[in-house]
Amino acid sequence: MFSNTLLNLGVCSVGKSAFGCVADRSPLGAAVAPSSVHAPGWDLLMRPGDPQAVEQLFDAVAPNYDRLNDLLSLGLHRIWKRQLLAWLSPLPGEHWLDLCCGTGDLALALARRLRPGGSVLGLDAAAAPLVVARRRAAVEPWLPLSWLQGDALDTGLPSHRFDGAVMAYGLRNLADPGAGLIELRRLLRPGARAGVLDFNRMGEGSLAARFQRFYLRRLVVPVAAQVGLREHYAYLEASLQQFPKGEVQERLARDAGFAAASHRPLAAGQMGALLLTA
């Protein structure tokens, strides 16, 4: 139904639903306290029980987010996002949602495909990324874009409003990914398409997993430290320790009411895309 080794940073704010704010769930559904998850050697700023602190953390990342993404992925994150849109095939006249939109690069690319007659709503919990998104969108004022600050687990938007949706590097940060998928399904019309792009959690002993850990610890965090964001980016490895694997994401999506769910690898398995049909 849906018409390829470096890493995107994947820091996305999700408000009260952010990882570390409340008890998270393991891929098998058992509750796991966020404080039990850590990146070795780092004292993380992401703490349980303080949603306001989480939003402030992502506000701090926003001014450097796009520059670091381009640097640390050599621009490949743009290719992965284009591939996601190619699989989803958004059409002119359709109305789409970008959940956890961050600084808006995916929403902008999506909006260019939906003209004429379509629209994109970008939603994020943190104010600073939305400021960047609005500034970027102002360069192309003809694009059908609007922005909303809100919680990915409780958007407050009407049910069955959208023809499609995307979420890039947001699902991993939700306290309950299953609940996030339920909210996403609620917002989509029957037959709508959705795509969730994020890091791919691999088997602990695999060569790819060892490369991923090395890359995060030895390149991502040291580079982020140069702009004062060491602890913020150390959080990435911690969040990956509890992120559901692809097959578990498929099950969660079906449990959420999606008619079809397929997880596809990207970037030699370092990334993954969960493709959904409502």
* 126, part of any domain: yes
* 103, part of any domain: yes
Q: Which of 157, 147, 179, 124 is nearest to 14 (CA)?
A: 124
* 25, part of any domain: no
pLDDT for res 269? 83
User: Span 258-272, mean pLDDT?
Assistant: 93
pTM: 0.78
| Class of residue 101 by CB neighbours under 10 A (exposed 0-12, middle 13-18, buried 19+) | buried
* 43, part of any domain: yes
**pLDDT tens-place string over residues 180-193:** 999 999 999 999 99
Strand partners, 44: none
Query: Residue 124: which CATH number?
Result: 3.40.50.150
23: pLDDT strictly greater than 70: no
pLDDT for res 245? 93
* 258, part of any domain: yes
Q: List, in sequence order, the alpha helices (H) in the chain.
A: 51-73, 76-88, 105-114, 127-137, 177-187, 207-215, 221-225, 230-240, 246-255
**pLDDT tens-place string over residues 105-115:** 999 999 999 99
Q: Give the number of domains in the chain.
A: 1
Which residues span the domain enclosing 211? Answer: 15-20+36-277
Question: Which of 41-45, 76-80, 134-138, 227-231 shows the lowest per-residue confidence on average (mean pLDDT)?
Answer: 41-45
* 6, part of any domain: no
Mean pLDDT of the chain: 79
User: Span 112-141, mean pLDDT?
Assistant: 95
Q: Which residue has the higher pLDDT, 81 or 228?
A: 81
* 26, part of any domain: no
> Per-residue confidence at 250, pLDDT binned at 50, 70, 90?
very high
> Per-residue confidence at 30, pLDDT binned at 50, 70, 90?
very low
* 27, part of any domain: no
